[in-house]
Amino acid sequence: MSLADRVLYPDFLSRIVTADEAAAMIPAGAHVGMSGFTGAGYPKAVPQALARLIQQQNTQGKPFKIGLWTGASTAPELDGALAQVDGIDMRLPYQSDPTCRKQINAGQMQYVDIHLSHVAQFVWFGFLGKLDVAVVEVAGVLPDGRLIPSSSVGNNKTWLDQADKIILEVNTWHNPGLEGMHDIYYGTDVPPNRRPIQMTEPHQRIGEPYLRCDPSRVIAVVKTHQPDRNSVYAAPDDTSNRIAGHIITFLQQEVKLGRLPADLLPLQSGVGNIANAVLAGLNAGPFENLTAYTEVLQDGMLDMLRSGKLASASATALSLSPAAMQDFNDRIDFYKERIVLRPQEISNHPELIRRMGLIAMNGMIEADIYGNVNSTHIMGSAIMNGIGGSGDFARNAYLSIFMTPSLAKDGAISCIVPMASHVDHTEHDVQILVTEQGLADLRGHSPTQRAEIIIEKCAHPDFRPALRDYLARARKSALGQHTPHLLGEALSWHQKYVETGSMR
């Protein structure tokens, strides 16, 4: 398909340039908002061209860096390419690229880890400074200049509204059938002018299918024809299946107790193998007519839509394996009736999450015996990826569930520890902890009661004696007995791992 078939706004045809020509329009030091959310809908050509330009400038002794803002993680063609030439000064709000991670943890790249629902409003408030350039992938342009979003929406609405200059990447690889799947809401405002968002159900549409932009600010249009970074997920293993089993059993019990309706409440699921295992368990389970209101739609939700277990799904991005992406394209009309893609300020909006009463299921790195959760840092100081949207959902969900295997690094690390080495979600936002060992329902329990439940239900048997011993001694000698800790050894497990490579 030619670019003329996708770009129907006549004035944009004169602005078609190469990726290298577009990259040359981005000045050093600029704040650049690029599309992309969890490996979907990110620009592919311009970032790589910009990386070549930066490398050339660096070779000539002219340091060249940009501030890079996105929706969430992107891909090697964007984060990786720019990081490898040392081209990013400040990165926000979320990343998962190994080169970025290495530079952040070496202190060579600044990184601001933000709740994903906060990013758009922080830009509107002016908290992050001026957005100079937006580089946004779209699937097409209508005759009146409106834009057909591609496989993610993320913060694209805000980038297009706020940037002084706009570069569009029109990716002809995307299925034209995407048109109509999106719901772009233009009703948000800044305080004191905010009004309630009129949405009560996940499948409800409150906006329009297209992105708007001021055509006069579009300085370049670039053609691409490349797929997204479609990741292959490992098949669920015994550990993830056991975690999934505990969650399914718990949800069944909640229905029997009258605390959940028979078709549950809208589901939110983080990304990864455990999340897919939980979705597979729900697909095979007793629940019918489910809905999802989440950030990312992954393979497991496509399976549930096809089986009919899931009636509809709302997200801000796709995150599919190659096989699932092929199925998505082959059945685009089927999925378009059941999937809505929204801006992340809506997909992650606390008002909507609380109103609809979500069941939020997210991964973690570790939890301590009192239920504080670390989802971002290794051994207290090294960032892994970022908080993403887990805090948006955990604080406001009807049920807040965090899950992880009980061990990491072939058993060298216990994921249940005396004190979390970094806290992203305090005990006040954590209701349920799950490992393959069991499920700890923490609702209505004091800190010491929580500790007893977490140790017995979630900790690996190899580490339970040491955790019991720590709690017992803390209850005898800690300064306060509400949340008793031995401050001199609360983080000693982590220190031992740093020194010896094992917590044992």
Work out the mean pLDDT of the chain and round it to a whole number. Answer: 97
Q: 3-224, what's its fold?
A: Glutaconate Coenzyme A-transferase (3.40.1080)
Average pLDDT over residues 179-204: 97
365 is in an annotated binding site: yes
What is the SS3 assignment for 320-385? CCHHHHHHHHHCHHHHHCCEEECEHHHHCCHHHHHHHCCEEEEECCEEECCCCEECCEECCCEECC
Confirm whether 3-224 and 238-500 share one CATH topology: yes
Q: Where are the domains of the chain?
A: 3-224, 238-500
389 is in an annotated binding site: yes
Give the strand order in the sheet containing 339-341.
339-341, 310-315, 290-293, 267-269, 359-363, 399-403, 432-435, 438-441
Q: In 233-252, which positions are buried (b, 16+ CB within 10 angstroms) versus exposed (e)?
A: beebeebbbbbbbbbbebbe
pLDDT in tens, 48-77: 999 999 999 999 999 999 999 999 999 999
Q: CA-to-CA distance for 114 and 122, rounded, in angstroms?
A: 10
Q: CA-to-CA distance for 196 and 29, rounded, in angstroms?
A: 37
Q: Are 97 and 36 in contact (CB under 8 A)?
A: no
Tell the CATH superfamily of the 238-500 domain.
Answer: Glutaconate Coenzyme A-transferase (3.40.1080.10)
* 295 annotated active-site: yes
Band (404; pLDDT cuts 50, 70, 90)? very high
Band (7; pLDDT cuts 50, 70, 90)? very high
Band (1; pLDDT cuts 50, 70, 90)? low
378 is in an annotated binding site: no
Quote the pLDDT of residue 230: 86
Which two structure tokens, joined as six digits, stand for 113? 């880890």
Portion of the chain with pLDDT greater than 70, in percent? 100
- Taking CA atoms, 64 is separated from 56, 85, 195, 228, 333, in Å, by 9, 9, 42, 27, 45
Q: CA-to-CA distance for 97 and 30, rounded, in angstroms?
A: 21
Catalytic residue among 77, 137, 295, 436: 295
Quote the pLDDT of residue 28: 97
The single-letter code of the amino acid at 16 is I
385 is in an annotated binding site: yes
DSSP β-bridge partners for residue 314 = 293, 340
DSSP per position, 126-140: TTT----EEEEEEEE
DSSP β-bridge partners for residue 433 = 402, 440
pLDDT in tens, 247-290: 999 999 999 999 999 999 999 998 888 998 999 999 999 999 99
